[in-house]
Structure 1
Amino acid sequence: MNAVLGLAQVLEREPLADNQRDMVERIRSAGQSLLTILNDILDLSKIEAGQLRIESRPFDLAALLANLDSLMGQVARSKGLSLRLEAPSNRLGPLLGDGLRLEQVLFNLTGNAIKFTEQGEVAVHVNTLESSASELRLRFEVRDTGIGIAPDALTRLFAPFAQADAGISRRFGGTGLGLSICKRLVELMGGVIGAESQLGQGSSFWFELPFVRGSESEAAALAVLSPPIPSGPRLIGAHLLVVDDSAMNRDLVERALHLEGATATLAADGLQAVQLLQTRPERFDAVLMDVQMPVMDGLAATRMIRGQLGMLDLPIIAFTAGVRDDQQAAARAAGADDVLAKPMDLEQMAVLLTRWIQPRPASFQPPVAAEPEVVEAFPEIAGIDSARASQRLSRDRDMFIGLLELFVHDNTDAVSQTREALAAGDREAASRRMHTLASNAGFLCALDLMASARGLEQAIDQGETDLDKGLDALEKGIADLVAASAPWR
């Protein structure tokens, strides 16, 4: 997902023909939908395991509601609906609570209301129920003029995987996890949630939450954390060290940094990063460090940079697919200044880097808009879904060839490396190698290879020992793909 969404963001900033831009938007939309489902599943798993923590930090409710109005208003207008927002006219000042989880609940309820409404409006109401000098209690309500819900279905709506009826899933999609997660989050934040509805007459979903009022110093801190909208490249002259074992991720980050005026040196593991910093310690303004890598992982490399090299002031940003709080805390404990979760949002990455980097002056010419080139046909290669690859890469044939070359270079020996790891009793390394292969094959749309590698990864993780047949078949599949793609490399 990191590669798909990230490269789609990069492509959107390139000069594209209308049909190409439409395909990029479709890629991003489909990717975001899949990411939403994955995040729902992960959130539910964390809640059930007792690993989801509710934060208490200052946040600006007015800014949160403005963001909701801006983003969901566009979605509503695209369906011919209006989104109406009613909130207290007086600014409530900073509140202490989990603003991100509050936003998650509001976006989920508002998104549902828009999804199930064909005409009319969706209204979001925020009312103060109780207020004192130090605390207040707010009621949030999302009303729609949509299809409504039968009374007997209301009682089960907040259960996991529940929807009003089977036809809802077929017609509107979704997993049925959203409302269950909303209920759990609201209760974890000390609130209550409910719904009223009549079939054919719309619905009202509401929740109430307590908040503590923030101080003036916290209000000032919020103002500092709200940067202006950028008008151009924000990292001009900066030089970053990008450390990731995935060639595709390195390529993605390098492209994104170039668009912001920065340059990048690339390293494939933590040991290479340490060696580069040992040789040229003054060269880099910051390090983007993946956490999970072979040879030397990001945590060990970060500890060595801080300890053995004594580079205490060099900003290190860890990026990781780990979603648990303890995984992100481990990165900070190792010496990382900040953590960026995968899949990376390129805008979020740029904003985060501006907090840590003081770019050096340098000449930078942003990409010049040009007439779209004539699109060449994608190569037809046995083992690759060329049509899907073409759509995923917005018909960028050169990028496809480049990724194909990277895939062959990085994965031709994947099976032999896995066998060696298994023979040495290192099942973790074997699993990680299959995980990387599956990810790379999926991005290239070599779907059979992806499925085979993923199956082997799961078998290794589950402790299975009879793996030879699967490894033999996968090795042959890779060899066939390498041979079939030779004319295009």
Structure 2
Amino acid sequence: MMNSNEHDLQMRIEHLEHRVRKLSEEKANLHLVLHMVELLNPIAGIDYFLDSMIAALCGSLGGTNTEIYYLDEGEIHYVNLFGEKRIVGEIEDSLVAEVFATRHFVEQNTDLNHTLLKDNVAAVACTWVMPLTIGDQILGVVKMSDLLGSAQMRNYLAPFFSHIALILNNKIQTRKAEAANRAKSSFLATMSHEIRTPLNGILGMAQLLAKQECSDAKRMECVRTILTSGNNLLALLNDILDLSKIEANRLELNLLAVQPQRILDEIMTLFSGAAQQKGLRIHAAWVDGEVKAYQVDSLRVKQMLSNLVSNAIKFTDRGSVRIEARSILDESGNCLLEFSVSDTGIGIPKDKQRELFKPFTQVDSSSNRRYVGTGLGLSLVSRFAELMQGKAGFESDEGQGSRFWFRIPTRVDNEIDNTALPSNIDESSQLSNLNLKLKRVLLIASDSVHGANLSAQLKARSIDAFSIDLDDQIPDVIDKDLGFDAIIIESSLENRSLSRLARKIRDLESANRLPRAFIIGISDKQHSDELDTEFEQDIDELLVRPFTIEHLVNVIESHIRLSAALQQKTVICNEEERLFFKNCEGITEILDDLERQLEKNMFTAVEQFNMLQAKVDGSSIASHFVALGKLINDMNFEEAHLQLKLLRERFSETETKETHCGH
């Protein structure tokens, strides 16, 4: 019988033997992991890297199969030990789906009856499914079937797979960057051709016009070619600018009540000639019964449809092109407008469909491609749809034609909303002021060609433009107070000159005690944050080239309507409301942000109004914002912007007036 010393010695020996065995196992596992790292090929492309990783896992750990699922551009890619590679639409393996959902390791014992290890009764095999994660982000999943590993081995694999995830992510990002660079290089080569073509047409026709022997008939033909080439070039440059604005999050929407049928009619007018030249039938129809008006940015919708119809005509040699619009309801019951363009053209191969909506990308990018183009059209359609909180898509079979569509959220707006103005304003009187009054603007243009062109376009839209082009004429015109509805500073000079002209007008107004004029500045700067701060304070509206004449007219008429409403407004608020508004901390900043968002037709105005509502809830001024809230929730941002300006004017006027009103 052992004494206590012998027993203690025996326990220490067993403990040391256990530690030796454990250290030996750890050393073996460590060597195994290091061996697997050595077998990896991190320099090769992503496919060869994954093949080397599977070979390393199976060669070192055994098992009957190793499968890797990984995310790339929103799609799940699959590869396994037997060389199978595919894109997985839906994960059918429950263990893999569980790891994707939980980001946690999953282990399951394996039935060895189906393995080569069935005669080894001492072996206990299992299936391991391990996540590939980078921080909180899951990149993929590795499934290893029928392993003979231990829990200790699993602990060593965890940092190994973290290392694998970093390498795999770097390879995916590198492949994306290389693909983007190739696409942009191809795009620049294509773009140089697309720009040179209309430029050559313009220069060639201009040379013919310069010849004395050019006949009247030939002269008209040259003018038509110059106009066509100029419009094509402008459309191309506008597409590039629009894409850059979207990527910089600087593109603004202008929502107005429009009947979709009118948009379809304009698209038919634009493309019926091109379709007839190719012998194609073209149709456009509103297929939803009653014709209604909806809140949309008609300019962007027409741009999206133009890209789709242009593509449909380009890729259709015989048959027809059909344009349709309808209203539908989404899963939540919200109203959507769906526009679609169907054709009987060449269709799109399945292996090319993933690339369609990417910018700078074309289905056929070969040097001898049959169909020319920049590859921007479909990308802009998709980006515009996303900007409008909608989406774009398509259905196509090679040789069977295509159907492209986009759906955007909207609301019906068939009637004038009387809540947009205070109840005491005579609406008919306001409308008569807007429609019957001769609209006049002062146009200050440093470039006579630009000024004459802009003046002619305004006159065609019933706006009389009084033009001056010299600085010394400004004091005389301002001093006479000729009743201009707006002053437009249209200058091709540097922004400092624009700032100087605007400052000069404000100084003249101050010196002569004249009312503040509504100044619209036109700049060549693409981003307003590049402009002088002083200039932005002196002007009321900034337009950046290129812009449409319709946008300029809308700005002028919106100002006229606001002025008419303010002139007829007689109700002001009582002292209690004025004091609350004046002392309400933070309300001015909330209203400033809300006004900016409404002016730019931003959907975030709904959330911003909720902040305002929480600020004034239960106060004496809460009732003043009820109508404004209805307009914003209905996404009638233009009228909401007008209503907000009226409310702010009302509160500010009470600080200088002693009159009170009842409620």
Shift of 1:154: 1.3
- The answer for the alignment partner of 1:243 in structure 2 is 444
> Cα 1:45–1:88, aligned 2, differ >3 Å: closer, same or farther?
same
- The answer for the alignment partner of 1:431 in structure 2 is none
> Cα 1:323–1:73, aligned 2, differ >3 Å: closer, same or farther?
farther
- Tell me, in whole angstroms, the C-alpha distance in 1 between the residues paired with 2:531 and 2:495: 21
More deviation, 192-201/146-155? 192-201
> Cα 1:23–1:172, aligned 2, differ >3 Å: closer, same or farther?
farther
- Tell me, in whole angstroms, the C-alpha distance in 1 between the residues paired with 2:228 and 2:322: 24
- Contact 2:451–2:467 (CA under 8 A) maintained in structure 1: no
- Tell me, in whole angstroms, the C-alpha distance in 2 between the residues paired with 1:169 and 1:289: 48
Give the letter for the 1:266 counterpart.
I
- Contact 1:290–1:320 (CA under 8 A) maintained in structure 2: yes
Shift of 1:142: 0.8
The one of 302, 322, 337 equivalent to 1:123 is: 322
Shift of 1:102: 2.2
Alignment partner of 2:290: what SS? coil
Tell me the matched-pair count: 335
- The answer for the alignment partner of 1:192 in structure 2 is 391
- Tell me, in whole angstroms, the C-alpha distance in 2 between the residues paired with 1:185 and 1:91: 27
- Tell me, in whole angstroms, the C-alpha distance in 1 between the residues paired with 2:529 and 2:368: 35
Shift of 1:43: 1.5
- Contact 2:506–2:538 (CA under 8 A) maintained in structure 1: yes
> Cα 1:170–1:314, aligned 2, differ >3 Å: closer, same or farther?
farther
Shift of 1:68: 1.9
- The answer for the alignment partner of 2:521 in structure 1 is 318
- The answer for the alignment partner of 1:426 in structure 2 is none
> Cα 1:170–1:63, aligned 2, differ >3 Å: closer, same or farther?
same
- The answer for the alignment partner of 1:288 in structure 2 is 488
- The answer for the alignment partner of 1:266 in structure 2 is 468
- Tell me, in whole angstroms, the C-alpha distance in 2 between the residues paired with 1:66 and 1:279: 47
- Contact 1:134–1:213 (CA under 8 A) maintained in structure 2: no
| Cα offsets for 1:116-153 (capped at 9, x unmatched) | 22222110122333279984123322111222222211
Give the letter for the 1:158 counterpart.
F
- Tell me, in whole angstroms, the C-alpha distance in 1 between the residues paired with 2:418 and 2:339: 23
Q: Does 1:297 align with 2:489?
A: no
Describe how 1:450-469 pairs up with structure 2 within 5 A. Answer: none
- Contact 1:299–1:334 (CA under 8 A) maintained in structure 2: no
Describe how 1:248-397 pairs up with structure 2 within 5 A. Answer: 248-253=449-454, 264-267=466-469, 271-272=471-472, 274-278=474-478, 280-282=480-482, 287-290=487-490, 293-294=493-494, 297-306=497-506, 308-309=508-509, 311-312=514-515, 316-324=519-527, 334=537, 342-343=545-546
More deviation, 312-321/87-96? 312-321
- The answer for the alignment partner of 2:403 in structure 1 is 204
Give the letter for the 2:359 counterpart.
P
Shift of 1:66: 2.2
Describe how 1:18-37 pairs up with structure 2 within 5 A. Answer: 18-37=217-236
- Contact 2:312–2:342 (CA under 8 A) maintained in structure 1: yes
| Cα offsets for 1:277-330 (capped at 9, x unmatched) | 345443967543126635953345335434641554756443333455778998
Shift of 1:160: 1.0
- Tell me, in whole angstroms, the C-alpha distance in 1 between the residues paired with 2:449 and 2:232: 22
> Cα 1:58–1:345, aligned 2, differ >3 Å: closer, same or farther?
closer
Alignment partner of 1:216: what SS? coil
- The answer for the alignment partner of 1:151 in structure 2 is 350
| Cα offsets for 1:328-354 (capped at 9, x unmatched) | 998996465666654576788789878
- Tell me, in whole angstroms, the C-alpha distance in 1 between the residues paired with 2:226 and 2:521: 27
> Cα 1:101–1:257, aligned 2, differ >3 Å: closer, same or farther?
closer
> Cα 1:48–1:350, aligned 2, differ >3 Å: closer, same or farther?
closer
- The answer for the alignment partner of 1:73 in structure 2 is 272
Give the letter for the 1:51 counterpart.
R
- Tell me, in whole angstroms, the C-alpha distance in 2 between the residues paired with 1:163 and 1:290: 39
| TM-score (normalizing by structure 2) | 0.42
- The answer for the alignment partner of 1:84 in structure 2 is 283
- Contact 1:76–1:83 (CA under 8 A) maintained in structure 2: yes
- The answer for the alignment partner of 2:307 in structure 1 is 108
- Tell me, in whole angstroms, the C-alpha distance in 1 between the residues paired with 2:252 and 2:339: 22
- The answer for the alignment partner of 1:376 in structure 2 is none
- Tell me, in whole angstroms, the C-alpha distance in 2 between the residues paired with 1:68 and 1:146: 19
Q: Unmatched 5+ residue regions in structure 1?
A: 228-233, 358-489
Q: Unmatched 5+ residue regions in structure 2?
A: 1-194, 196-201, 210-214, 421-427, 561-663
> Cα 1:83–1:341, aligned 2, differ >3 Å: closer, same or farther?
farther
RMSD: 4.6
> Cα 1:127–1:261, aligned 2, differ >3 Å: closer, same or farther?
closer
The one of 323, 336, 346 equivalent to 1:137 is: 336
- Contact 2:361–2:376 (CA under 8 A) maintained in structure 1: yes
> Cα 1:330–1:130, aligned 2, differ >3 Å: closer, same or farther?
farther
Shift of 1:205: 1.0
| Cα offsets for 1:345-371 (capped at 9, x unmatched) | 6788789878989xxxxxxxxxxxxxx
Give the letter for the 1:194 counterpart.
G
- The answer for the alignment partner of 2:19 in structure 1 is none
Q: Does 1:214 align with 2:417?
A: no
- Contact 1:147–1:199 (CA under 8 A) maintained in structure 2: yes
Shift of 1:71: 2.1
Alignment partner of 1:122: what SS? strand
Shift of 1:40: 1.5
Name which structure has the greater RCO, CA cutoff 8 Å, separation 6+.
1
- Contact 1:291–1:299 (CA under 8 A) maintained in structure 2: no
| Cα offsets for 1:83-104 (capped at 9, x unmatched) | 2113234335332343332222
> Cα 1:144–1:284, aligned 2, differ >3 Å: closer, same or farther?
same
Describe how 1:417-456 pairs up with structure 2 within 5 A. Answer: none
Q: Does 1:172 align with 2:371?
A: yes
- Give the fraction of aligned pairs with identical amino acids, expressed as a percent: 30
Alignment partner of 2:416: what SS? helix
Give the letter for the 1:320 counterpart.
S
> Cα 1:127–1:42, aligned 2, differ >3 Å: closer, same or farther?
same
- Contact 2:275–2:313 (CA under 8 A) maintained in structure 1: yes
| Cα offsets for 1:252-285 (capped at 9, x unmatched) | 44666788896754325xx446334345443967
Give the letter for the 2:356 counterpart.
L
- Contact 2:499–2:534 (CA under 8 A) maintained in structure 1: yes
- Tell me, in whole angstroms, the C-alpha distance in 2 between the residues paired with 1:329 and 1:92: 47
More deviation, 27-36/253-262? 253-262
| TM-score (normalizing by structure 1) | 0.55
- Tell me, in whole angstroms, the C-alpha distance in 2 between the residues paired with 1:58 and 1:240: 26
> Cα 1:50–1:263, aligned 2, differ >3 Å: closer, same or farther?
closer
Alignment partner of 1:123: what SS? strand
| Cα offsets for 1:140-194 (capped at 9, x unmatched) | 2211122222221111011111111125985433211111121111122222222
Give the letter for the 1:209 counterpart.
I
- Contact 2:491–2:498 (CA under 8 A) maintained in structure 1: yes
- Tell me, in whole angstroms, the C-alpha distance in 2 between the residues paired with 1:21 and 1:329: 44
